Structure 1
């Protein structure tokens, strides 16, 4: 985990919470000062956010916040759930190699270690996001279906569609940690189903897993609505 991961998660959270209006220019120096970082990790995070469909570059190369709707986000998450469900089913049908078993177990152990922190820190969140991305990438790589892999890559270009893009942040720490613990238990259950070759259960678990992201979306919108009662000048980025 590095500073870029922390900056990336903070910027995602600022966008989702409505801190920037659609069309707002994201200036590297101002963001660096706000986040207590240098411009280098901010610049790298902005490139990633462009790839995820959260920001766009104008004709001069400056990054602007994209406008998108809550429905776009929920639709993209739902599509990811079905695609990853198919990937999990294929992995279970093919069988889990010793190498894949070792890699997945290592990732799960890392997640267990990170979630032992209470309360979670911003560094914990960012490191968990890296771990979470790794878990999902291992399954997708192991499914062996290139068309499916391309479909996931295309869907990941939509706002908040990638696996870790809807992880909660520190608005309500206790609730966020509870949801992350639940999501990680799902990782463990999916791993067990894969080892037993239970393809239907693996598919169902992987599809259901995205409900955590959908719930995080709903909670984020609720939190932002509450904050806008005190900061009515902030416009919604989503919805």
Structure 2
């Protein structure tokens, strides 16, 4: 089952993404814990994780929701696609260890099981998160290029740039199922390209896979009046 800490993390990440927690808003452990009906420890852990992901900034004894432009988020997601595409291509070109494909196929099998019933529970999303992280980490390590891993680690400090930054809209379970199932189908295509040694194809698939996150971010911006990122008007001035 999903741990309290994981539930708090996903909840806060979603509240920031959909504008319930707005840019510049200060957050403290005690009132946040009381609002979520949990103890302070999972809130403290979630705050630290969200700081690492670029959603929050440490501010005195608490945190502040980071104000981030849509251009910064888009750029960071696109950079992840380029870096992961490079990693996948180099993994093919440098020769894949059989264990790499075995690990990736186990990820596919677990994903297949998760999507059998047409809906995902909180526990399913947690399992997907862990499987997804393993899937991406395996490909990055298979590139044998430490510079890619280092660049991704720096890029991960922007909101939604990291594969670990899983945001789920529990109010739309059918839409979320389709969104994650589509990502899983992309995983299948990626493994197929890797196993067949198609370096150019897998590079393009990895970039497309990362850029699918942009659709989610765009939806959040369009569906919420108090969106948490800043947009720029045609004149170049920043508006909320």
> What is the TM-score of this pair, normalised by structure 2?
0.88
Tell me the alpha carbon deviations over residues 44-92 of structure 1, each in whole angstroms, 9 at most, x when there is no partner. 111111111110111x231111111122111110111011000010111
Structure 2 residue aligned with 1:148: 148
Structure 2 residue aligned with 1:236: 227
Structure with the larger strand share:
2
Give runs of aligned pairs for residues 1-239 of structure 1, distance below 5 A.
2-58=3-59, 60-165=60-165, 167-225=167-225, 235-239=226-230
Tell me the alpha carbon deviations over residues 116-171 of structure 1, each in whole angstroms, 9 at most, x when there is no partner. 34332233223312221221111112211111111111110112110242544224
Contact kept? 1:87, 1:139, Cα under 8 Å:
yes
Counting matched residue pairs gives: 229
| Cα distance between partner residues in 1 of 2:42 and 2:166 | 20
Q: Secondary structure at the match of 1:162?
A: coil
| Cα distance between partner residues in 2 of 1:34 and 1:126 | 22
Taking a change above 3 Å as real, the CA distance of residues 207 and 173 of structure 1, as seen in their structure-2 partners, is same
Structure 1: which 5+ runs fail to align? 226-234
Root-mean-square deviation (CA), in Å?
A: 1.8
Structure 1 stretches of at least 4 aligned residues deviating more than 6 Å after TM superposition: none
Structure 2: which 5+ runs fail to align? 231-240
Taking a change above 3 Å as real, the CA distance of residues 81 and 153 of structure 1, as seen in their structure-2 partners, is same
| Cα distance between partner residues in 1 of 2:42 and 2:150 | 28
